[in-house]
Structure 1
Amino acid sequence: MLADAVVSESYRFLRNRAAVFWSTLFVPVLGLAMAVASHYFLKQKMGELKDAKLPPELLQVGGPLDLGLALVELAGKAANPMLILFVLIGAATLYAGDYRWETWRLISARNTRFNLVLGKVGVAKLLSLVAVLLLLAFGFIGELAKGAIFERSYAFTFGGEEAGTFILSLLVSYVRVVQVTLIGLLAAVFTRSLLAALFTPLAVSIGQFFLAVLIMPQIGWDASDWYAQALAPNLAAETLLGFINGNPGGPTVATAWLAGASLVGWCLIPLGLSLWWFQRQDLSKE
């Protein structure tokens, strides 16, 4: 029954081509276009400086471009605010579309409420995964274009350590994107509004960003404190990425465990509250 809910939600969502494009393809394509344009602009400026007879060492662009290390770096930056914003377009459509079009009463008789919600969550998780992987793929193409534009050779350092860092960084970025979309699920169930499902996660995420960057240092909270990690999943994701990359003087093992628990908790609590409240709702007019 749960598989049926996932398949049916996938079928419905894929028919909404605008939501699919904006939530999965737009940010990767835009990022690639901006990267290529910036590389060409920088190449042009370097040519102008070369004509100005500057010392050659000032115009060097480096040695071989290491695509393996670039891939690891891209994985850690996959959960960027722009990607999350546009993934929320698709997630909000999934979570609040049946409220918007008053179709809950038509589908609720065909499956359990528990499965219907989890079906939507399953599709939103697949949507988030596709968006993250496409961003990674287009970012890699951007690195290839960078090497071609600046006429740099390529290298590929990707041993066991780099592979482990890449996989874990990609996992943290993916969970971070899913975590924000689950706040949208909670907003959709409690408010029955598509706009609330879209803008509530954004407002919460912006508030947590300012909490971690501006407020916590002012009130003397340290990033390693459990309450700091618990209140700011964005800080928890950054802590995990710092630990995975082995940054000098970075987070300890204990802090990394706190960060992981915070990120998982910010996924499970909104999901649990959404399921609980949805079971209590009257859908006779929805």
Structure 2
Amino acid sequence: MRIKELADLVGTTPRAIRHYHHEGLLDVPDNSGVRNYTLDHAVRLVRIRHLTESGLSLATIRELVHDPDLSLEDEIRLAEDAIDEQIAELHRQKARLLELREQRVTDDVPLPYTVPERLASFYGQVSPRLNAEALPYFEKERQAMEVALRIPFASRLVDDWLRDITPERIDATVDIYHLFARLPHMDPEEARVEFDHHMTRLHSVFGPDWGIHQRDWRGVVRPVLMAPGVVTLLTSAYQHPNQKEFIRLFLEQAVELFENNVSRETRGVAS
């Protein structure tokens, strides 16, 4: 039979059958010319459809369909296990939603599901001190952080940076948020002067390493700073040229700091 006939017989589509071929689940007919599917193909396709509808992954099904000793009872047991895992995952998702709802009750702004504890505490200290003009930009950063925390090592880096957060560091950070809100009202030269002033203050308050204890600059800091899309993520969230320039200069100094620390690491290894 042809692929369309097989698809109609089993209740699927030719596209699905070709996908099963690609995934190694269903053998391609070995006859020359137009593919001619046999009863063996139909039997295996029915089995594949049964297992997929039971919730098993294609990777698991790939192993099962090539096991001639697998009984119907085994298939049912495995399908039940897959359904149990789906139920467990739904319970985990519901627990995360309930956690988020509780955060909404105590805090007027939602947090990412897996926000580090220190970052949540930091947000809780900063947000009440921001004026009405700065708060929308603060909220955009929090949304961007939900994405950024998906980057490998980002959560570790943020948690490390906040380990020794002090009232003086909170003050300097709050002033940066207020500066960011004022940038659209400044001309470029004035914005650059303000940026340099605040960066000098940050260096003074946070120290030469910006308060980052992490010594593995190459293995942890570099993947975060150099992650594809970081600049795009930040600059797309803020539209004013002064704000974009602020982000560019800030990351430029961060990269320079990173390169200096990598050089120190390299010299330390060499010695």
TM-score above 0.5, yes or no: no
Q: How does the TM-score come out when normalised to structure 2? A: 0.22
The structure carrying a bigger helix percent of its residues is 1
Structure ranking higher on relative contact order (CA contacts 8 Å, 6+ apart): 1
Q: How does the TM-score come out when normalised to structure 1? A: 0.21
